[in-house]
A and B are shown apart, each in its own frame.
Chain A
Amino acid sequence: MEEKDRIINDVTQSEYKYGFVTDIETDIIETGLNENVIRIISAKKNEPEFMLEFRLNAFRKWQKMKMPDWAYLKIPPIDFQKISYYAAPKTEAKYESLDEVDPDLLDTFNKLGIPVEEQKHLAGVAVDIVMDSVSVKTTFKDTLAEKGIIFCSFSDAVKEHPELIKKYLGQAVPVADNYFSALNSAVFSDGSFCYIPKGVRCPMELSTYFRINAANTGQFERTLIIADDDSYVSYLEGCTAPMRDENQLHAAVVAIITMDRAEVKYSTVQNWYPGNKEGVGGVYNFVTKRGICRGVSSKISWTQVETGSAITWKYPSCILLGDNSVGEFNSVAVTNNYQQADTGSKMIHIGKNTKSTIISKGISAGKSNNSYRGLVKVMPGAKNSRNFSQCDSLLLNDTCGAHTFPYIDVQNKSSIVEHEATTSKIGEDQIFYCNQRGIDTETAIGMIVNGYAKEVLNKLPMEFAVEAQKLLQISLEGSVG
């Protein structure tokens, strides 16, 4: 157990040891943040005037804002002037072949069952130019283009589809929505743009492509997904493999807009560097995710598995504007060692007969703190709305904490809102039952935790779910004695 623990730690630290730092030779600008920097970013990306205006507007608003302190997190002061806000994606390979890669890292990859080609990519091994991924990518592009689906990087979208960007940028997440979204709006590096035209059902999960393509989009990424009438898309973000990222601060924005009867399923697996066992280092993850169900009977569902990051501040939310629209949030958040997570969801019911469900499973171990924070708001016009929230917390030892902060605000009589939360530890009888059948305690805990999180894991696309399950086990290894 200690051994495995050591491996995990070595793996997570090794990246730094072996100097996985941004290569200074790449295109990087001076640290600091001012209007000039924003102009440089915009110029480097050859952006049209309206984008620069958008960025400057956001920056001016950001300057007037204060970092939020309401979360149940201890956030060390962040010096925004000490960060470089632009680094072009790294293209240079770090290793010639897999043999040079840290064997412990490969071990973890194997545990997760990641294909060799992908391992190479993730570890930063030079990939053969005719390697599958590229051809896969092209095949994908063709299939998607046939259907009329636009799926490209944000920068490309700004150039190729400025009318769509102009129309939808900042609609779900206004520039000054919050401190971190304003910062993102000002300096965002790149991200993805996805448009599903009317009546189209996206034939594939937009995952593999993303996994290979967008690994290095940088610390301020921006994703915009628009699903037009009667369309459907399932979108996967992140990766189950341990993402070693030298960036301390991540402030991403994800916005989803669904029109009449459209459905978007957004799944995330977040496994950034959580810091070492003493709580040193790790990524600060401040993400704004919001979906607007604009059309009638539209649906947005968020599914997330959060195991990484030293600090997670993330509240995927749904604004249920269209009548009969549906919002869903399913989350598993695991914290270990000194990790802190304050995550949950917001459901704003505006349209009639809107429904939302929140299922949140928190698992805390080590000296970590794991909080659920959520808001369910039913506006006076949202007649016959329905919400059900369930937040369960599992504590694995006596040094961690699990907290729940739900806010419920109901403003009409025909709506029903229910919230329930429980906090407990793994039952000794359950472990005893497993032990009795020859299953050792560690495996038993893994099994119980997986069973506990099953409800959410089941919502993930299949291959993702299998990986997520393994990830849960790895994240908790060594945390229980």
Chain B
Amino acid sequence: MSVLVEKADLSLKYISHYNKVKEILFEGSSYVLNDVRNRAFQDFIIQGIPTQKNENYKYTNLNPRFLPDFEFVHHKENNNVDIKTVFRCDVPQLNLEPRLIFNGWYHRISNESLNLPEGVILCSLAEIANNNPDLIKEYYGKIAKTDSDSMVALNTAYAKDGYFLYIPKNVIVEKPIQLINFLQAETDTFVTQRNLIIIEQGASTNLIFCDHTLNLNNYLNNSVTEIFVGENANLDYYTLQNQHNRTSSINSVFIQQERDSVATTHTYSLHGGLIRNNLKFVLNGENAEANMYGMAFLDRKQHIDNFTQIIHAKPNCQSNQVYKNVLDGESTGAFSGMIHVVRDAQNTNAFQQNNNLLLTDEAKMQTKPQLIIDADDVKCSHGATVGQIDEEAMFYLRARGIDEDKARLMMMNAFAHDVVRKIKVEALGNRIDELVEKRLNGEIARCHECAYNCEM
């Protein structure tokens, strides 16, 4: 009984906080964001913080993660961040000029060069919502439904800022766009980030999104990203998750694709206390193609939960999912992937694969691949395996004079490489391969020279 009370209390904290800061939330925000705020809040009250009784959160207990006495960031902090001093992205040959998101707020860097093609907008969501609400009102909150996931509801209720990316019709952005999401605060902090990406007809872009924490406080990052991929458009969306063990990251990404479009997501989880990736694709036009790749390397008590849903709403679409996890220490992994082919979405090709390696007896893996098929002319398959390294392959390597540890490393590297090779930005792919190898060698994979010790 006491547990129940505790849980109710937990949601109450976030509910009462909303009432307390309501004015701040509404103040200065565009009507696009404010119009849905109260409704989202109602939806959150109804659903509360999901418990493990909720089928969608069966494998991830979020409740302890909501316990710390968080500070909330409801306005932009006025620290002039110089990216060069806090962070140096050392991916060789990538040479990007990353944009910053600081505790959920988009920060314009003073010397931000505008070398993006004409018409492309990359700015803060709050800014675009205030300056040009007509551009986003059609899209905001359209696919991130607040009544089906309380984390989306909570995000929508608290949302103030995040990034906004707009690629107009037929514009091809050759160079990848990099965004770096920092968490840095004096105290334990709850961060809400709301992003929106609109890629119009025939446009194309690569987006690299990196997560970092800069000090050792407890963080809870609840972010929602809505992505609209227009007809014949192309998107590659890379996420690198590299946060310390006291961070909880709940990422909900919603992608809607129109006909002939191709969208690919790559999620690399290298470090993080608790990572929950919700990824929902809606294939809303014929001949669309969706690819989802994910890889996680976890140890200690880290936890990852990749929760994917793909809705084949129109015929002749293709989807592809490959998720691989290597679990060391006492880490726990979960994968839940649902492919839903709606009635009359004929000629669907849907493929899903989830492979997991458990390196210790304390590591655990739970996987739940699901198919809901309501059309008949489809080819759908899924496969899931949990196990260890193939002994025969090991033997092959050992027979050729490679010692056991090295052979094991080679095998694990190959296991991960299957996903890494899908990366189209070569410099990034090489970098991740390198990080994986470092990680396998027992070094901590850090993607920048960060002074903080992630081991805590």
Using a CB–CB cutoff of 8 Å, the interface residues on chain A facing chain B are 70, 72, 378, 380, 383, 393, 395-425
Residue interface mask B47-78, A partner, CB < 8 A = 1: 00000000100000000000000000000000
Residues of B within 8 A of A413 (CB): 358-361, 363, 388
| A404→B341 CA distance, assembly (Å) | 12
Q: Is B365 an interface residue (CB 8 A)?
A: yes
A selection of 21 A-B contacts at a CB cut-off of 8 Å is A397-B376, A398-B375, A401-B372, A403-B373, A405-B368, A406-B369, A408-B368, A409-B364, A410-B364, A413-B358, A414-B361, A414-B388, A415-B386, A416-B386, A416-B388, A418-B387, A419-B382, A419-B383, A420-B383, A421-B383, A425-B376
Q: 7 closest A-B pairs (Cβ-Cβ)?
A: A416-B387, A395-B376, A404-B371, A413-B358, A410-B386, A423-B380, A422-B381
| CB-based contact B373/A395 at 8 Å | yes
- Find A423's partner among B346, B360, B371, B384 (CB 8 Å cutoff): B371
B406 close to chain A: CB less than 8 A? no
Q: Which of B369, B373, B388: most chain A Cβ within 10 A?
A: B373
A72 cross-chain contacts in B, Cβ below 8 A: 372
Q: What chain B residues lie within 8 Å of A397 (beta carbons)?
A: 376
**Pairwise interchain contact B368-A406, C-beta atoms closer than 8 A:** yes
Cα distance A406–B343 when bound, in Å?
Answer: 22
Please give the distance in Å from A424's CB to the nearest CB on chain B.
6
Q: Which residues does chain A contribute within 8 Å of B372, judged by CB atoms? A: 72, 401, 403
Per the bound structure, the CA–CA distance linking A380 and B330 in Å amounts to 12
Q: Mark B374-401, 1 if CB is under 8 A from A, else 0.
A: 1111111111111110000000000000
**Any A CB within 8 A of the CB of B344:** yes
> When the two chains form their complex, are residues A420 and B373 in contact, meaning their CB atoms are under 8 A apart?
no
| Distance of A414 Cα from B385 Cα, bound (Å) | 13
User: Closest CB-CB distance, B217 to chain A, in whole Å?
Assistant: 32
> In the assembled complex, which residues on chain A have CB atoms less than 8 Å from the CB atom of B359?
413
Inter-chain pairs besides A404-B369, A406-B370, A421-B381, 10 sampled, C-beta below 8 Å: A400-B376, A402-B373, A404-B370, A408-B367, A409-B365, A413-B359, A415-B386, A418-B385, A421-B369, A421-B382
Q: Which of B356, B360, B387 has the most CB of A within 10 A?
A: B387
Q: Is B132 an interface residue (CB 8 A)?
A: no
A408 to B364, CA, bound (A): 11
- CB of A408 within 8 A of CB of B381, answer no
What is the minimal beta-carbon distance from B298 to any residue of chain A, in angstroms? 14
Q: Which residue of A lies closest to B380 (CB)?
A: A423
> What A residues does B364 contact at CB under 8 A?
409-411
For B369, the chain A residues whose CB sits under 8 A away are 404, 406, 419, 421
Contacts of A378 in B (CB 8 A): 386
Chain B residues, CB < 8 A from A393: 371, 373
Residue of A nearest to B338 (CB): A405
Question: Chain A residues with Cβ under 8 A from B386's Cβ?
Answer: 378, 408, 410, 415-417
B382 touches A420 (CB 8 A): yes
**A404: chain B residues within 8 A (beta carbon):** 369-371, 382
Interface flag for B187 (CB, 8 Å): no
Q: By the criterion CB–CB under 8 Å, are B373 and A398 in contact? A: no
For the complex formed, measure the closest distance between the CB of A22 and the CB atoms of chain B, giving whole angstroms. 38
Which residue of B has the minimal Cβ distance to A423? Answer: B380
Q: Interface 1/0s, chain B 136-164, versus A by CB < 8 A?
A: 00000000000000000000000000000
> Hey, which chain A residues are within 8 Å of B384, CB to CB?
406, 408, 417-420
CA distance in complex: A70, B53 (Å): 11
Residue of A nearest to B340 (CB): A403
Q: Are A395 and B378 in contact (CB under 8 A)?
A: yes
Do residues A398 and B346 form an inter-chain contact, with CB atoms below 8 A? yes
- Which of A380, A401, A423 contacts B361 (CB under 8 A)? A380
Contact B378 A423 (CB under 8 A): yes
B53 CB to nearest chain A CB (Å): 11
**Bound CA span A241–B338, Å:** 38
Q: Tell me if B130 is interfacial: C-beta within 8 Å of chain A.
A: no
- B 310-332 binary contact with A (CB < 8 Å = 1; else 0): 00000000000000000000000
**Is B366 interfacial (CB 8 A cutoff)?**
yes
Interchain nearest-CB distance for A307 vs B (Å): 20
Shortest distance in angstroms between A356's beta carbon and chain B's nearest beta carbon? 14
Contact with A along B332-346 (1 / 0, CB 8 A): 000000000001101
**Would you call A398 and B343 a contact (CB within 8 A)?**
yes
- Report if A425-B385 is in contact (Cβ < 8 Å); known contacts: A395-B373, A413-B361, A419-B369: no
B376 partner residues in chain A, CB cutoff 8 A: 395-398, 400, 425
Residue B344 contacts which of A70, A398, A420 (CB distance < 8 angstroms)? A398
Expressed in whole angstroms, the minimum distance between the Cβ of B345 and any Cβ of chain A is: 10
Closest to A420 in B: B383
User: How far apart sit A306 and B372, CA to CA, in the bound complex (Å)?
Assistant: 20
Q: How far is the CA of A421 from the CA of B379 in the complex (A)?
A: 11
Query: Closest chain B residue to A381 by CB distance?
Result: B361
Q: When A398-B375, A422-B381 are in contact, do A405 and B55 touch as well, CB less than 8 Å? A: no
Look across to chain A and name the residue whose beta carbon is closest to the beta carbon of B388.
Answer: A413
The complex places the Cα of A135 from the Cα of B300 at a distance, in Å, of 69
